[in-house]
Chain A
Amino acid sequence: MSAEIKFSSEELARYSRHIILPDFNIEGQKKLKKGKVLVVGTGGLGAPLLLYLAAAGVGTIGMVDFDVVDDSNLQRQVLFTRDDIGQPKVLAAKKRLEALNPYIKFIAHQTSLTSDNAMDIIKDYDVIADGTDNFPTRYLVNDACVLLGKVNVYASIYRFEGQATVFNYTDKLGITGPNYRDLFPTPPPPGLVPSCAEGGVLGVLPGILGSIQASEVIKVISGVGETLNGRLFLFDAATFETRTLKIKRRKDNPLNGENPTQKGLIDYQQFCGFEKPSDQSEKFPVKTINVKQLHNLISQKANIQIVDVREAYEYEIANIHGELMPKSEVTAHVQKIAKDKQVIVHCRSGKRSADVIELLQEKYGFENLYNLEGGILAWAKEIDHSMATY
């Protein structure tokens, strides 16, 4: 099947350590060159994944990301340097990878992966490697892979902990293994599992998990070894505890269980609970204020209260002298929140503070709370450029 794949003498020299590798050899290398892999997310996991897949000689590598390179990425996203800050990630990555391996093709998709474009982007690839950072996109990638019959090489990380597996893999006997919905039928409610931006992550952890993903992608394409199909690998860098658990398909999987009910992609924001039912948001709308308006109020010495619902360690990095009441403890501090004047509630980006306001309005009847749009990040960007961001 890969008879038409040819290598130049430069390529043979480059890939010689694969070609002399027993069981892998020139046939494995030909399969890699014929392979088409899409890496979703060019961040912490995407960086080692892309570097190793490009170095290994995977013939076509696509990458999807809407974001630009930021200072705070460089702690772990080893694809990028300071010169790339402000550049679109997929373009900076493409430039770096083309310098690493000129014998393969790179395709940059500078966009978010959405229900509207996912099928169209994913259909042209053989294997998808999911290195995204949120539940809606995790379910989107999974569902598109199952609907299109693509292998989904999965890893995710949180603080010191990582998970990896291979989803929707069809073995040599034609038996397809479990997918994400077999492992986790429903997502956690928003806020229970913070993102790395909120919860932090050990910088080297995505390096370890992303390298495992690269190894699994190479095994899937080359057919060498046994993949993590049907097994969930867990790694805790803090304790160096590793576990490999068995996972199986479920009869009630809505995509490919006994009675499939889902034939296409859905609204994943809604599925993951990020959009409240309309009756609730109509009943308790969250009022907002922007950073310029807040700056004016402070300049005028207006009688307001500022409540900061971030954690103490975030407060240390940067603050606007708000009263610190971390989100998880806010109900214990409810007496300290004024009811008789304008109270501005803020967090890092405006998400946690909106959740807090909804809770306080619903449970305690507050009507004087305003969410600071864009949080302290917006303050640093528009009002105080010397403020540290994270």
Chain B
Amino acid sequence: MAKIIIPTPLRKFTSNQAAVAVQSGTVIESIRDLTLQFPDLDKHLFNEDQQLRGFVRVFIGEDDIEDLQGHDTPVQQGDTISIIPAIAGGI
């Protein structure tokens, strides 16, 4: 299993869970496991072409999956996946 850390703006779709345990394998498999558990998340993470949306980045450990092997990046047992959305608050 691996762990996905859910950012605050998306926690309303995960019953307020801040972290969710998912299958390891590849990063897309792990995220699909997450969206299987919480189907409402799907449209916020992926566009119609099943690509990650432009305001969401996915990291394994401290590395952006775009700088690794994208959706096919292997996820090891115990890895932490971070979903990072844009937030804009400041005042």
Segment from B20-28, B69-77, B83-91 that makes contact with A: B83-91
Could you tell me if A132 and B90 are in contact, using CB atoms closer than 8 angstroms? yes
- Residues facing B in A179-219 (CB within 8 A) are 183-188, 192-196, 199, 201, 206
Could you tell me if B87 and A132 are in contact, using CB atoms closer than 8 angstroms? no
- In the docked arrangement, what's the CA distance between A134 and B87, Å? 8
A321 at the interface (CB under 8 A from B): no
Name the residue of chain A whose CB is nearest to the CB of B63. Answer: A246
Select which of A158, A161, A184, A192 is within 8 A of B57 by beta carbon: A184
- Residues facing A in B19-59 (CB within 8 A) are 44, 53-55, 57, 59
Select which of B7, B59, B88, B90 is within 8 A of A161 by beta carbon: B7
Could you tell me if B89 and A158 are in contact, using CB atoms closer than 8 angstroms? yes
Tell me the total A-B contact number using a CB cutoff of 8 A: 113
Report how many residues on chain A are interfacial, defined by Cβ distance under 8 Å. Answer: 51
Select which of A45, A159, A243 is within 8 A of B62 by beta carbon: A243
Select which of B63, B86, B90 is within 8 A of A41 by beta carbon: B90
Given the contacts A45-B91, A159-B8, A161-B7, A193 and B86 also touching, CB distance less than 8 Å: yes
- In the docked arrangement, what's the CA distance between A46 and B87, Å? 17
B9 at the interface (CB under 8 A from A): yes
Residues of A within 8 A of B86 (CB): 135, 138, 156, 183-184, 187-188, 193
Residues of A within 8 A of B85 (CB): 188, 193
Smallest beta-carbon distance A236→chain B, Å: 8
Given the contacts A43-B91, A133-B90, A159-B8, A245 and B55 also touching, CB distance less than 8 Å: no
Interface size class of B (residues with CB under 8 A): 20 to 34
> Given A160-B8, A187-B55, A192-B9, 9 other A-B contacts at CB below 8 A?
A131-B91, A156-B87, A185-B55, A196-B89, A196-B91, A199-B89, A206-B90, A241-B5, A243-B62
Complex A-B, nearest 7 residue pairs according to Cβ-Cβ distance, in ascending order: A43-B91, A186-B54, A158-B87, A185-B54, A196-B89, A188-B55, A184-B86
Please, could you name 28 A-B residue pairs with CB atoms under 8 Å apart, sorted by A?
A: A45-B90, A45-B91, A67-B91, A131-B91, A134-B88, A138-B86, A155-B90, A156-B86, A156-B88, A156-B90, A158-B8, A158-B89, A161-B87, A163-B84, A183-B86, A185-B54, A187-B55, A193-B85, A194-B9, A195-B89, A196-B89, A206-B91, A234-B82, A234-B84, A238-B18, A243-B82, A244-B62, A247-B64
Q: Which residues of A contact B (CB under 8 A)?
A: 41, 43-46, 67, 73, 77, 130-135, 138, 155-161, 163, 183-188, 192-196, 199, 201, 206, 232, 234, 236, 238-239, 241, 243-248, 250, 328
